[in-house]
Amino acid sequence: MNLTQLLTRSVILSLLLLSPMAFAQTFSFTAIPDQDASALQKRFDKVARYLSRELAIDVKYVPVKSYAAAISAFRNNQVQLAWFGGLSGVKARNLV
C-alpha cells in the first residue's frame, strides 16, 4: 500500500467519524515535508480533488515547511488530518 492509498483510506475513515456539522466546512489535511514541496503539492492536490468528488465535500491539502509546522497545524485545528513520521506523530499525540 503506498502513501496516497493509505492517506486516502485514513481521510475516508476520519470523515466517517466526523459529526454532520463538520461537513459544512472544508476538510483540510497535511503531510510532513519529506520530499520536494511541489511534488507533494501535486500529489496531494490529486488526493484532495478525488476525495472532494467522491465525498461531495470540500477537501484541501495544506502544505507545510517543517515537521514542527505540521504538528502546529494539527494542534491548532488548521488541519483535521496529518501524515506524520514516527517521532512527529508521538509529539503531536502528546500535544492534543
83 in Cβ contact with 7 (< 8 Å): yes
Domains of the chain by residue range: 25-95
CATH number of 25-95: 3.40.190.10
Segment 48-68, tens digit of pLDDT: 999 999 989 999 999 999 888
Nearest CA-CA partner of 30 in 15, 41, 14, 19: 41
Segment 65-90, tens digit of pLDDT: 988 888 888 888 899 988 776 656 56
